[in-house]
Amino acid sequence: MSFVDLWKKYDFAAASAAIHSKTAADVRHALSRVRAGLSLEDLQALLSPAAAPFLEEMAQLCHRLTVERFGHTMQLYAPLYLSNVCANVCTYCGFSAQNRIPRKVLNDAEIRADADVLQRFGFEHVLLVTGETSRVGTAYLANALRLLRPRFANLSMEVQPMDQADYETLVREGLSAVLVYQETYDAAVYPKHHLSGPKSDISYRLETPDRLGRAGVKKVGLGALYGLSDWRTDAWFVGLHLRYLERHYWRTRYSISFPRLRPHEGREIEVTPFNERNLVQAACAFRLFSQEVELSLSTRESETFRNHAFRLGFTSMSAGSRTNPGGYSSAPESLEQFAVDDDRTPAQIESYLRSQSYEPVWKDWDPTYDGFGTPPAGDLATTGSAGSAR
């Protein structure tokens, strides 16, 4: 059995109707059960329109639970875009194969150049991102890991879905985590936005976290691209996916992100509303649903919003992001995947977190624990200033 078998048992429209039928009494019942553990039906209540009047109560409880589990800390990471070449035609992405933009695959020297900049910023956690194409397949990614492993403590990927054997190869090269967003769990909407290319195979994408779990990847990131379909229902399916994975691959850690549609190269598309208040509700619902899951807040969101929302269950933030290959060292913004809204430098974000009595965590793992490199000289967690010796 894979998650696809479970997913097929649920009708998206029926799940949406169930969520929108929840009442204030259902929300109060869910809130009373948080410490004992919530069911998927409770998650429906917390995602429902009926939960809107309870958002302040949800936010306060969410903050308390996050501090109890993670303390006043925030992990910082940066994406490193290796390529914008893509074989998919997707309506919402600047990298879509139909867009007439300059294409780039970083060579070894260019990868090192971007890595140099990220090291100077102080990053230890780097997320490697590519478009989906065989030009940046397993061999290319394994080489990138070998180049970067001596420089960074934690290397994650957001790349094309792969077979289990490919993931096993990358784990041996030092891969720590993989983010794979389903975009939407709505079977009727998915093909409208994924017109051609490997990504048009919804089942293969849905099964990717199963393959990651079997391959021994330490952390798997989930999420939907909010704005493609009804956000409440997509969020509930993310919760269904999370609960399934936690039960089948319990050694694996999980994270959830909340990407929203952003301005990009290509045609305009119809967007389903998902505003900042909705994002807060979704994040709070997931924190109450799972006190262990990590929640991430990206630079897609504005500085003002991130300054207010980071306390509400989030455990990691991107900082100083560039969404184009070579973006940190040389390349023009015209190659970017989407527009970034919070353009503060990593040092500015670090300074803001400290002003709010939060510790920015640049490093929370050392590769020597996975058999790479030499033993660390100091503590496991590093919270020093950006650019300082660690």
- Return d(Cα 140, Cα 157) in angstroms, integer: 13
In a domain, 220, yes or no: yes
Q: Which domain holds residue 152?
A: 3-370
In a domain, 203, yes or no: yes
In a domain, 258, yes or no: yes
Tell me if 93 sits within 8 A of 86, measured CB to CB: yes
In a domain, 376, yes or no: no
Side-chain-side CA neighbours of residue 198 (13 Å): 15
Number of residues assigned to the chain? 390
Report the SS3 class of residue 361. Answer: strand
Q: Helix 164-172 and helix 138-148: axis angle, to 10°? A: 20
Report the SS3 class of residue 96. Answer: coil
Amino acid at 233: T
What is the structure's pLDDT at 283? 98
In a domain, 20, yes or no: yes
Q: What is the pLDDT along the chain (390 residues), one digit of tens a residue?
A: 899 999 999 999 999 999 999 999 999 999 999 999 999 999 999 999 999 999 999 999 999 999 999 999 999 999 999 999 999 999 988 787 787 888 999 999 999 999 999 999 999 999 999 999 999 999 999 999 999 999 999 999 999 999 999 999 999 999 999 999 999 999 999 999 999 999 999 999 999 999 999 999 999 999 999 999 999 999 999 999 999 999 999 999 999 999 988 754 445 667 889 999 999 999 999 999 999 999 999 998 999 999 999 999 999 999 999 988 999 998 655 455 556 789 999 999 999 999 999 999 998 867 766 776 544 444 334 444 433 332
In a domain, 341, yes or no: yes
Q: What angle do CA 230, 26, 226 make, to 5 degrees?
A: 15
CATH number at residue 164: 3.20.20.70
In the chain, which residue ranges form alpha helices assigned H by DSSP?
Answer: 3-7, 12-20, 24-32, 40-47, 55-70, 108-121, 138-148, 164-172, 190-193, 202-206, 208-215, 231-248, 276-289, 303-309, 346-355
* Phi, psi angles (nearest 5°) of residue 295: -120, 135
In a domain, 385, yes or no: no
How many independent structural domains does the chain possess?
1
Report the SS3 class of residue 179. Answer: strand
Amino acid at 66: T
In a domain, 323, yes or no: yes
